[in-house]
A and B are shown apart, each in its own frame.
Chain A
C-alpha cells in the first residue's frame, strides 16, 4: 500500500472517530471511573511497603553502576553500559512500564530514594526534615520543562550524545539539581514541579490502569486518569517538549535535515572539526526548539479556535492538555519501538560487563542480539497503528472533557472541531516525518 494512503487513511479514521464520539458518547465517562477500585489491601501493603524499599535499593545500586560505568568504563559506547541503559532502557523502557503499571518512577527514582533515605535517617535521629523554602507558585512546571529539554537536547542536539564521559557529567549535574531541588522545596513538590522525568512519568501514568491513592493501589480503566484540567503554569511547555522533541528526532533523520547539517559542517570538517561540531549542535538546538514551539503553537491555536467557535468566557488551554498525553506516548512508541527492541537487547551482555573490561558477571556477556527480530513492514504497521490509536484516544479524552465543561451538547461538539483539525495535523505530520526518516 502506498505511504500517502496511510496518511489520509489515518485522517479519515480520526474524522469517523470524531463523528462516532459525538453520536455515541453523550455523558462524561472518565471522571466517574477515575478512582477505580481497590486491589486487595495486603497486596497494596506489600508492594508499597517492602516492595518499594527493595525497588529503591536496587534502583540506587543500578544508578551507581551506570554512573561508575560512565566515569570509568570503556569510552566506546557499544562496550559501556551507560549509553544503552540511559537512552534505551530508562528513556524508552520506563514509559512503557509506566503506562501499564502506573507511576513506577515513584519507586524507581534513585534521587527520590536517596532523599527518602536522608529523611529517614534524620527522623530516626530525632530531627525533623523540612523543606528550606516555599516553592514559587509562578514557576509552575517550567523547571521540569527546562530539565526535560536539557536531556533531549543532550540526546538529539549534542554531537556525541553517547559519549560515556559526557553522560557521566550530565548524570552528576542532573543529580545535583534534583537533590538540591528536593532539599530546597521538598521531595513531593520538586517531583511534581521541577524533576523533568518525574513530571513526565506522572503524566504518562495517567494512562495506566493502576494508580495509588491514599496509600492503596487501585485498578481502573486505562486513560480514565486523563480527566480534569491542567492549569499549572509551564504544563503546556512541558507537554510540548515531550511531543516536539520526538518530532524533531524524526525530522532530523530526513535527508533534508541531513543535507542542511552537511552544508553547515562541511566547510570546517577538515580545518576546524570542533567548530563544525559546535555549529551542528547549535543548529540542532534551533531545530529542536522549533519542533517544540510548533507543537505548542499548534495546540494553543487549536484551543484559541475552540474558544472562538463557542465564544467561551475563559481560555480552554488547560482543559484539553491531557488529550496530548496519549499522543506523546504513541509518538515515543512509533519513533523508538525498533530502537528499544534492537538496541535494548544489548543491555543483556552489557549488564555482565558494564565497564567493558571483559567481565562476565552474570554469564550473559556473550549473548548475541537478534537484529532481524522485526521487519521494516512490521515496524511501519506498528508506527501507523500506534499513531492512529493514540490520536483517537486523544480525541476521546478531549471529547469527554468538552462534554464535562459545556452543559449544552452543541457547545461541547463545536468546541471539538479545532481539536479534530489539530489531531489530523499531528497524525499526518507525524506519519510524514516517520516515513521520511
Chain B
C-alpha cells in the first residue's frame, strides 16, 4: 500500500475524507500563519530583548 493510500485507508466515504482534510488544512493554516507572522516579527525584533521576571 502506498503512503497516501495508507493515510486515507481508514475513510469509508468521500465525506469523511473531506472532513478530515478540512480539519487538517485548518490546523496547518493556523500554525502556518503563526509561523510566518512570528518569523517576520522576529526579523523586525532581533535586537529587542523582552523584560523577564522570575
Interface positions, chain A 144-171, Cβ under 8 Å from B, are none
A407-B53, A408-B51 known; A309+B46 contact, CB < 8 A:
no
| B31 touches which of A229, A309, A312, A421 (Cβ 8 Å) | A421
Q: Which residue of B lies closest to A308 (CB)?
A: B42
User: What chain A residues lie within 8 Å of B38 (beta carbons)?
Assistant: 309, 414, 417
Tell me which residues across on chain B come within 8 A of A405, comparing CB atoms.
52-54
- A-chain residues with CB within 8 Å of residue B42 when the two chains form the complex: 308-309, 311
Q: Is the CB of B53 within 8 A of A15?
A: no
Residue among B24, B31, B50 with the highest chain A CB neighbour number at 10 A: B50
Q: Are B50 and A15 in contact (CB under 8 A)?
A: no
Known A4-B10, A309-B42; judge A408-B50 contact (CB<8 A): yes
Chain B interface residue number, banded: 20 to 34
Q: A309-B38, A311-B45, A417-B38 are in contact. Are A2 and B50 (CB under 8 A)?
A: no
Given the complex of chains A and B, what is the CA–CA distance between A408 and B49 in angstroms? 11
Q: Is B23 an interface residue (CB 8 A)?
A: yes
Separation of A3 and B9 alpha carbons in the complex (Å): 13
CA distance A417 to B36 in the complex (A): 12
> Does A275 lie at the interface of the complex (its beta carbon under 8 Å from any beta carbon of B)?
no
Find chain A residues with CB under 8 A from B53 CB.
404-407
Minimal beta-carbon separation of B28 from chain A (angstroms): 11
User: Is B27 within 8 A of A11, CB to CB?
Assistant: yes
B20 to chain A, nearest CB (A): 6
User: Which residues on the A side are within 8 Å of B24 (C-beta)?
Assistant: 8
Q: Which of A8, A15, A313, A408 contacts B20 (CB 8 A)?
A: A8
Contact flags (1/0) for A294-319 with B, using CB distance below 8 Å?
Answer: 00000000000000111111100000
Residue of A nearest to B10 (CB): A4
**Which B residues are in CB contact (< 8 Å) with A229?**
54
Question: Most B CB atoms within 10 A — which of A8, A15, A408, A424?
Answer: A8
* Cβ B23 vs Cβ A12 within 8 A: yes
- Residues of A at the B interface (CB closer than 8 Å) are 2-5, 8, 11-12, 15, 229, 308-314, 404-408, 411, 414, 417, 421, 424
Interchain residue pairs with CB less than 8 A apart (27): A3-B10, A8-B20, A8-B23, A8-B24, A11-B27, A15-B27, A229-B54, A309-B38, A310-B50, A311-B42, A311-B45, A311-B46, A311-B49, A311-B50, A312-B52, A313-B49, A313-B52, A405-B54, A406-B50, A406-B51, A406-B53, A408-B50, A408-B51, A411-B50, A414-B41, A421-B31, A424-B27
Residues of B within 8 A of A (CB): 10, 12, 16, 19-20, 23-24, 26-27, 30-31, 34, 38, 41-42, 45-46, 48-54
- Lowest 7 CB-CB distances: which A-B pairs, in order? A8-B23, A411-B50, A417-B34, A313-B49, A309-B38, A407-B51, A405-B53
